[in-house]
Structure 1
Amino acid sequence: MEPSAAATVTLRDVAAASGVSISTASRALDERGTVSRSATAVHVRKVAEELGYRRNSFASSLRRGETRTLGVLVPRLSDTVMALMFEELERAAADRGYFAMVATSGDEPDDERRAAETLLDRNVDGLILATARLDDELPRLLRERRVAHALVLRTDGVSPSALGDDEVGGYLAVRHLIDLGHRDIAVVTGPSFTSTANARLDGARRAMHEAGIELPDNWSIAGGYGIENGFAAGDALLDGGAGRRPTAIFAANDNLAMGVMAAAHRHGLSIGADLSLVGYNDIPLSSRLPTPLTSVRTPLAQIARTAIDLIIDPNKEPRVSKSMPTLIPRESSGHPQGQG
């Protein structure tokens, strides 16, 4: 006898209608981990859908002492990379039967701690932080409290971390400019309290050192990661007051690169012809700018999957897992004037 439309369809009902045991039906409908593709599992899921069965994952999670929820902490969602990172984390979490919720904190440590406590108050099973500073106390506190957590994009070098290999990325960016014939290369990077800024600068310096190129102190500018920071740095580098300006700039994220583009326009310089430019992260807008931007692509989907695994299966991954970036050449980087 089929359950009435008004009745709550139970797992027992699904098992009976499918002609399998309750334990077999439960396994077929379990959304945790890899979903079974066996003929029996597919049949059970089809019957469950026809009956209108809804698995009470909250109740079953409470019985196991977990909520199947992960908290994600980012500095801000107005940053395209952070928004894309959360989307990938949300997708990777869902693939493993988890729900991801996000909170923003800015770059202030006190705000970061308050946001983390807010997520923990909601009984999340773990935290994923895209906010880590090199001087950050929060990862240490989470380690001491044995809170399951992982850092993404940035690392403190101790807590479980999933990120791109930023030193390799910085190296690829500047090596590309050197291979085009540039020797007057400047670097605009992010805040010194972030592992990303430091590692990308280290990679740039390594490429220059191999080529026998010196990076003048006033051609290495650190600041925030916003477009306005890139504009200010680009304006200073391209002013020409000292009688010499760089022929190429590596900007350590695409926002900075777009700011440099605006500064170049102000100084009457053409990107790709008068000034070569390489960004980082390869956000979707990069390829659609008036002069498409050469950028280093960060594998966000791979980083997200690794971060989720670091929490739900911590013995599967290395404590600090680095994914390999890729250089995507476009029209913004060309040979110095007079070469070709």
Structure 2
Amino acid sequence: MSKSTVSRVLDGRRNSGSPHAQRVRQAASELGYQRNIFASGMRRGETNTIGLIVPRLTDTTMAVLYEEISKACQAEHKLAIVATSENSIQAVEQAVDTLLERRVDGLILTTDQAEDPTVAKLRKLGVPHVCALRTEGLSDAALGDDVQGAYLATSHLLELGHRRIALINGPGFASSARGRRAGYCQAHEEAGIEVDASLMRETDFTTASAEHQMGNLLEGQASFSACFAATDNLAVGAISALRGAGRSVPQDVSVVGYNDIPLARYLSAPLSTVRIPFDEIARNCLELLREQVAGAGDTHTRVSEPELVVRDTTQRYR
């Protein structure tokens, strides 16, 4: 039986129930064969499409990243296709399989759950892929410097005289949240101030969860004069809870966000935040994918530098 016939049987293009086809499928099962969809697509030629998988597009950070990746793709006459996962491992795997069936030339992922087998599978199959904003530490990645960004945000609040600073963070499985917690702690350590773990809260990166966690802090009568929120969306949720409890920003509580999404400067009190160069991160993603396709063997991480942007939600402690 020819290679082409075997290929047609295994990739579903030939659904024959003939004895020959059944023997092919049985042999493949016994050998533990897994079809390399990407390699199959490469044999048919590039499609000039890049797949992006994000938790949700209601997360403005992910929406901004998608827009910048789309722009970077357009500059190279490519098309970016986005899929959402809602932080579900099963949904990520399904999205990857669907995008590969559409023969994308590479994948960009913003998920890095420790138990997620998807990225390991992509490495095994040799599928060009890059982790963006978050990383599992083994694949190529285009990131912002989360430790430095959080350090800048927290140091800004410390320099204003605040000593009790709440942290509204993302989930512990996200490398970005871990990095921002590390930067928050580093700034405290360098200032000689002990971190109070009771002021630290984790969220699922949604505005509603930030509002809820800030509400818990307030209900517990925690004493703090400032808050570092690990994204601008989390800052919006935290500010909503503060104002709902009769606290003024920044008069009662100073707040710093992260990412500098477009909305940040247009809030009723423009948000102090940390700006991330999403355009640079997007370009780095595509460059890393090109290097993989070209056969670069080493793993690379490209880190973009953050910048503190001071606006109206922070002031000196009184």
**Matches of 2:117 and 2:43 in 1, distance apart?**
33
Q: Would you say 1:113 and 2:93 are equivalent positions? A: yes
> How many percent of aligned residue pairs carry the same amino acid?
41
2:49 to 62, 69, 72: 69
State how far apart, in whole Å, the 2-side matches of 1:163 and 1:123 are.
Answer: 26
Report if aligned partners of 1:184, 1:247 keep a CA contact under 8 Å in 2: yes
State the shift of 1:90 in Å: 1.0
In 1, distance between residues paired with 2:179 and 2:115? 15
Q: Which whole-Å CA distance do the structure 2 matches of 1:316 and 1:85 have between them?
A: 26
Following superposition, the deviation at residue 317 of structure 1 comes to 9.5
Pick aligned residue for 1:323 from 279, 304, 314: 304
Match of 2:216 in 1: 236
Give distance in 2, aligned partners of 1:134 and 1:175.
30
Deviation for aligned residue 1:62:
8.0
Aligned counterparts of 2:203 and 2:242: Cα–Cα separation in 1: 18
Report whether the alignment pairs 1:289 with 2:267. yes
**Counterparts of 1:266 and 1:157 in 2: how far apart (Å)?**
40
Query: Is residue 186–residue 215 contact of structure 1 (8 Å, CA) maintained in 2?
Result: no
- 1:95: Cα distance to partner? 1.3
Q: Mean alpha-carbon deviation: is it higher for 115-124 or for 227-236?
A: 227-236
Among 168, 171, 180, the alignment partner of 2:148 is 168
- Which residue of 103, 123, 141 maps to 2:121? 141
Q: Is the 8 A contact 2:133 2:143 kept in 1?
A: yes
Residue 292 of structure 2 corresponds to residue 311 of structure 1: no
The secondary structure found in structure 2 opposite 1:281 is coil
Structure number with higher relative contact order (C-alpha < 8 Å, ≥ 6 residues apart): 2
Aligned to 2:108: 128
Tell me by how many angstroms 1:240 deviates: 5.5
Q: Report which of the two structures shows the higher radius of gyration computed on alpha carbons.
A: 1
> Which consecutive unaligned segments of at least 5 residues does structure 2 have?
1-40
2:139 and 2:299 in contact (8 A); partners too: no
Task: Judge conservation of contact 2:109–2:130 (CA < 8 Å) in 1.
Answer: yes
Q: Give the residue type in structure 1 aligned to 2:151.
A: Y
Greater alpha carbon shift after TM alignment, 91-100 vs 145-154: 91-100
Please name the residue that 1:226 is paired with. Answer: 206
Determine the C-alpha separation between the residues in 1 that align with 2:169 and 2:298: 29
Calculate the TM-score normalised by the size of structure 2.
0.83
Q: Which amino acid aligns with 1:322?
A: V
Q: CA deviation at 1:104?
A: 1.2
Preserved contact between residue 138 and residue 299 of structure 2 (Cα < 8 Å): no
Equivalent residue for 1:189, pick from 169, 176, 180: 169
Q: Equivalents in 1 of 2:123, 2:226: separation in Å? A: 42
CA contact (8 A) 1:162 1:303 kept: yes
Q: Deviations over 1:149-185 (max 9, x none)?
A: 0111111111010010101111001000011111111
Cα–Cα, structure 1 residues 172 and 228, in superposed 2: closer, same or farther, change >3 Å? same
Distance 2:89 2:297 in 1: 30
Question: In structure 2, how many angstroms separate the alpha carbons of the residues matched to 1:250 and 1:312?
Answer: 37
User: Does structure 2 conserve the Cα–Cα contact (< 8 Å) formed by 1:306 and 1:317?
Assistant: no
Q: How many residues align?
A: 275
1:91 aligns with 2:67: no
> Which string of whole-angstrom CA distances, capped at 9 and with x for unpartnered residues, describes residues 2-53 of structure 1?
xxxxxxxxxxxxxxxxxxxxxxxxxxxxxxxxxxxxxxxxxxxxxxxxxxxx
Q: Show the 5 A alignment for 1:142-157.
A: 142-157=122-137
Residue 277 of structure 1 aligns to a residue in which SS? strand
Q: Give the superposed CA RMSD.
A: 1.8
Kindly indicate whether the alpha-carbon contact (under 8 Å) linking 1:295 and 1:329 is maintained by their aligned counterparts in 2: yes
Say whether the 8 Å CA contact 1:133–1:154 is kept in structure 2: no
| 1:35-89 CA distance string (max 9 Å, x none) | xxxxxxxxxxxxxxxxxxxxxxxxxx98872111111111111111111111111
Contact 2:171 2:203 in 1 (8 A): yes
Structure 1 portions without partners, runs of 5+: 1-60
1:274 paired to 2:274: no
Q: What's the offset of the Cα at 1:98? A: 1.7
Q: Is 1:217 the equivalent of 2:197?
A: yes
Q: Indicate the residue corresponding to 1:334 in structure 2.
A: 315
Distance, in Å, in 1 between the alignment partners of 2:93 and 2:309 is 37
User: One-letter code of the match for 1:321?
Assistant: R
| 1:291 alignment partner, SS class | coil
- The change in CA–CA distance for 1:335 and 1:162 in structure 2 (over 3 A counts) is same
Separation in 2, partners of 1:228, 1:124: 34
2:3 equivalent in structure 1? none
In structure 2, C-alpha distance between the alignment counterparts of 1:325 and 1:318, rounded to whole Å: 23
Deviations 1:91-118 (A, max 9, x none): 1112123221111111010110001100
SS state at 1:313 partner: helix
**Residues 117-126 or 226-235, more deviating:** 226-235
What does residue 23 of structure 1 align with?
none
